[in-house]
Amino acid sequence: MPTIELFDTTLRDGTQGEHVTLSARDKGRIARRLDAFGIDVIEGGWPGSNPKDQAFFDDARTEEWPHAALCAFGSTRHASNAPANDPNLQALIAAETDVVSIFGKSWTLHVEQALGVSLETNLDLIRSSVAFLREHGKRVIYDAEHFFDGYADHPEYALRTLRAAAEAGADTLVLCDTNGGSLPHDIHEVASAVHSDVDTTLGIHAHNDGGCAVANTLAAVRAGARHVQGTINGLGERCGNADLCAVIPDLQLKMGFECVDADPLSDLVDLSRFTNEVANLDPDDGAPYVGRSAFTHKGGVHVSAVMKEPSTYEHVAPDAVGNRRRALVSDLSGRSNIRYKAEELGIDLASDDAAQAVDRIKELEHLGYEFQGAEASFELLLRTLQDGMPRFFELERMRVWSGQDEAGSQTVEASLALCVQDQRRLAVAEGDGPVDALSNAMRDGLKTFYPPLTSVRLTDYKVRVLTPQDGTAATVRVLIEHSDGTSTWNTVGVSENILDASWQALADGLRYFFFHTDGAAAHGNDPAVTA
């Protein structure tokens, strides 16, 4: 099985993406996960450009890296400097990495207008820079910047830049689609031509400005490239880099190349989510292979088929990359969706109950309910249909008051009359808004009866107007997330009254928690009705 060298540039090119900021410590955390996953070369940054990248390399020298080689990034020397006096090349030496990657110009437009030097001088910049780094014992990966644009403009000169790097000792020549606008057939044609012209190992570095970075990377590998550069989750400047979370499984599971061992490949989802978490970025649910929706089925026909044979609607097994299969419940659902979800929840659902659940869900979704993002409410619905939900509490009366004093200070107060365990309980609380006040009043009224409630917090609140044409009488849908510090769950409420919709979601959130808290179900066993 042919092998691919994986070169990750999340810590360098990835940080050039909008909204991506990593401290030196963040870089270290991600680098350790990349090393454990099986990445061969980790490009840590440009030590000559900023103190943060230099700090990363300083810290990295004190650690062991069982698998990966760390790599410092820079450019060829400045035309006015000899290699030994060039600050950029000196910074690469000072980083003390075994591997360095340097970029040079392949496109005559950049040579003559951006650098302002002759074509021959540019070849000397490449040749002398690579040779200097090789003299200092570095493995040199040469990034041919704008190679595909340069090749289209002047193919012979673009090839001469590669030959200059190879002759000076670069052991890998990386063809860079820096502007990201090339198409797969162009990449394959050019990479094939280069592969037949040079003996040095070829690599590919693709950007995603045309939406083809992954496809372009695969095309280059088909043409002979054996070194692949990219970032986790496709992070990077403008539209990002080739997403290694798609490239790696495509190469390994579809094209027969060895990138990483099978066990680490099943950690791909965790690596993707960890990187997003450290970078403080929201995950992309629709990302291939690693997204939450990558193996999620909504249509009833799909779910029915997948339950019989997963390959009917799944191109690979979800666990191959550490993902899992999910079935959504909506007005498109059939009995197969309901039975699948019930099995996930450990609910033994009879055929009649499944049919009743389908009818009820379609009725509720017609009213505006949505259970795809409120699986806790869906579980309560199933258990209620089976008369399996205790009556933890009931609302007798709710009142919310909002006022402002002469100084402009706002006060919001909620009062509740609740029936709990055959007792009537009055609760009053203030909050930062009406929903916060309601939540505080509920907690105050119920905590004596259900002590575990002290660990529960409302962590997210979303409102969507479903019928804006109705103005102030519009129907709204409220989605609420609760957490006990260990797990989170989501519930939904719908009404023309935003406080009523909020109450539904709040009440379902606490009922769900009580049901799943050890011993809580013992507090009641009468069926309760919930949306």
Q: Which two three-digit tokens encode residue 38?
A: 């099986």
Of 50-54, 249-253, 481-485, where does mean pLDDT reach its minimum?
A: 50-54
**pLDDT tens per residue, range 195-241:** 999 999 999 999 999 999 999 999 999 999 999 999 999 999 999 99
| φ/ψ (deg, to 5) at 456 | -90, 135
Query: How far does Cα 494 stand from its chain's mean position?
Result: 30
Q: Give the pLDDT score at 345.
A: 62
CB atoms within 10 A of CB 251: 22
Return contacts of 279-286, CB within 8 angstroms, 24+ apart: 279/20, 279/21, 279/22, 279/26, 279/235, 280/21, 281/19, 281/20, 281/233, 281/235, 284/233
Q: Which residues contact 395 (CB under 8 A, 6 or more apart)?
A: 416, 417, 418, 503, 507
Give the rounded percent of residues in the chain with a pLDDT score beyond 90. 63
Q: Which two three-digit tokens encode residue 269?
A: 């989802």
Q: Give the pLDDT score at 153.
A: 95
Stretch 330-337: mean pLDDT, rounded? 52
pTM (2 d.p.): 0.70
**pLDDT tens per residue, range 103-156:** 999 999 999 998 999 999 999 999 999 999 999 999 999 999 999 999 999 999
Contact 100, 74 (CB under 8 A): yes
Packing angle, helices 155-167 and 184-197, rounded to 10: 50
Confidence band of 251 (pLDDT split at 50, 70, 90): very high
Contact 327, 340 (CB under 8 A): yes
Stretch 337-355: mean pLDDT, rounded? 66
Q: Give the pLDDT score at 346.
A: 66
Stretch 422-428: mean pLDDT, rounded? 92
- Does 314 score more than 80 pLDDT? no
- Does 526 score more than 50 pLDDT? no
Domain ranges of the chain: 5-278, 296-367, 393-449
Confidence band of 468 (pLDDT split at 50, 70, 90): confident
* Selected residue with higher pLDDT from 385 and 331: 385
Q: Give the pLDDT score at 353.
A: 67
Q: Give the pLDDT score at 327.
A: 65
Of 48-57, 491-500, 503-512, where does mean pLDDT reach its minimum?
A: 48-57
Does the domain at 393-449 match CATH 3.40.50? Answer given as no
Stretch 247-265: mean pLDDT, rounded? 94
Q: Give the pLDDT score at 196.
A: 95
Rounded CA separation 129/186 (Å): 30
- Does 492 score more than 80 pLDDT? yes
393-449 has the same fold as 5-278: no
Stretch 23-36: mean pLDDT, rounded? 94
| H-state helical runs in 13-114 | 24-37, 51-60, 87-94, 108-109
**pLDDT tens per residue, range 56-77:** 999 999 999 999 999 999 999 9
Stretch 271-294: mean pLDDT, rounded? 89
Confidence band of 323 (pLDDT split at 50, 70, 90): confident
Confidence band of 92 (pLDDT split at 50, 70, 90): very high
Q: Tell me which CATH homologous superfamily contains domain 5-278.
A: Aldolase class I (3.20.20.70)
Most confident of 250-259, 328-337, 429-438: 250-259
Confidence band of 470 (pLDDT split at 50, 70, 90): confident
Over the chain, what is the mean pLDDT?
Answer: 88
Q: Give the pLDDT score at 525.
A: 38
Q: Which two three-digit tokens encode residue 82?
A: 């000899």
